[in-house]
Amino acid sequence: MKVNGTHYRSLWWDNSKDALQIIDQRWLPHDFCIQQLDTLSDYANAIVEMRVRGAPLIGATAAYGMALAARLDASDAHLNAVWDQLNATRPTAINLKWALDRCRAALLPLPVDARANAALSLAHAISDEDVEINRRIGEHGLKLIMDIAKNKPEGEPVRLLTHCNAGWIATVDWGTATSPMYHAHDAGVPIHVWVDETRPRNQGALTAWELGSHGISHTYITDNAGGHLMQHGQVDLVITGTDRTTRQGDVCNKIGTYLKALAAKDNDVPFYVALPSPTIDWTVRDGVKEIPIEERDAREVTHVQGRMEDGTIDVTQVTPLETSGGNPAFDVTPNRLVTGLITERGICEASEEGLCDLFPDLA
């Protein structure tokens, strides 16, 4: 997507520097900072510190991490150790393990001296595939938006609601939940997006920045506003992303997604999840029982961070000093609350049958 007229992916390999470049998302939406990752610690820290974030982007970053690992020492022992190091960075998004497994499975059968080149080519392929997957999700999601638009008076926008940032910077490009929005806007279908702020890390501000840069009408709302808007007929469609979807179609996504799905169900608002196939964890069924939920630093909840008028970043405590905070970063929306899954191969029911019909080769 474009930033100030220049097209960017959220990460890219710079041949002249022979290294991976990322957008350091800690400073968005205020500052657009490009950073180079040089060491394996750089890769691990970039994921841990959420310089890169979003399930597909974490996976792509890890693939480049394996490419660096193969360059430094392509032995089985080293590749296995780096697999462990990177897999331990964040526990919930399955794309991380998916990418690491794919790299390891492709590299270990090769002669050691062929691994470095193969690993870099594979990381490029994983990135390119992510872009194409998300583009297709956008095409399928566009049909949903167009169907709603057809039943509205001419020019009246389709009102979508999204949670967190499942945008182009959470993937390599396009985003998952945002891809249908970009496609709709580009096709001339009027839309308006309600953007949940997504406390505590305010990923909604990243979504607002993305949508604003693309000229898409949007409103930034508190996390608790969605139910009220749905009760008052202000939301036509909810689309969120996912960090891990089980084989029966339970969806694990940013904390608060479950409450949006409950409110949508109670108000007959369709609740769709944009799901790239690498985000399906075929090994688990019951998301509530089986998916590990990342517990993050309580300071993200007890403190707020923002940019002051002079440009400095300020961190302020909002709770009494002695109050402790709790910070589960994801929750699980059971499949019964999900109207459908928008995948790169089309839209299916959130069920084992629905997923297996679309992905018989992966199931």
SS3 211: helix
Closest CA to 67 of 94, 100, 89: 100
As to burial, measured by CB atoms within 10 angstroms (0-12 exposed, 13-18 middle, 19+ buried), residue 256 is: buried
Q: Which parts of 155-174 interact with ligand MRU (CB under 6 A)?
A: 164, 166, 170-171
119 vs 243 by CB, closer to ligand MRU = 243
Residues 186-205 that bind ligand MRU (CB under 6 A): 203
Tally the C-alpha atoms within 13 A of residue 332's C-alpha that lie toward its C-beta. 22
Tokens of 313: 């970043």
Q: Cβ of residue 247: shortest distance to ligand MRU, in angstroms?
A: 18
243 is catalytic: yes
Under the binding rule (CB under 6 A), the answer on residue 61 touching ligand MRU is no
Out of 130, 173, 223, 243, the active site residue is 243
Contact flag: residue 329 with ligand MRU (CB under 6 A)? yes
Is 54 annotated in a binding site? The answer is yes
Query: Considering beta carbons, is residue 58 or 122 the nearer one to ligand MRU?
Result: 58
Of the two residues 40 and 166, which places its CB atom closer to ligand MRU in the complex? 166
Residue in the structure block whose two tokens are 């059968």: 109
In the numeric block, the tokens 């049909």 are attached to 143
Instruction: Name residues contacting ligand MRU, limited to 211-250 (CB under 6 A).
Output: 241-243
Say whether residue 331 binds ligand MRU (CB under 6 A): no
Tell whether residue 119 is among the known ligand binding residues.
Answer: no
C-alpha closest to that of 53 among 281, 233, 294? 294
Among residues 272, 187, 198, 195, the alpha carbon closest in space to that of 237 is found at: 272
Q: How many Cβ atoms are within 10 Å of 19's Cβ, its own excluded?
A: 14
Q: Specify the residue, 171 or 339, whose C-beta has the smaller distance to ligand MRU.
A: 171
In three-state form (DSSP H/G/I as H, E/B as E, the rest C), the secondary structure along 111-153 is CHHHHHHHHHHHHHHHHHHHHHHHHHHHHHHHHHHHHHHHCCC
- Annotated binding-site residues for substrate read 53-55, 90, 203, 253-254
Binding site for ligand MRU (CB under 6 A): 53-56, 93, 164, 166, 170-171, 175-176, 203, 241-243, 253-254, 329
Which active-site residues does the annotation give? Answer: 243
- Annotated binding-site residues read 53-55, 90, 203, 253-254
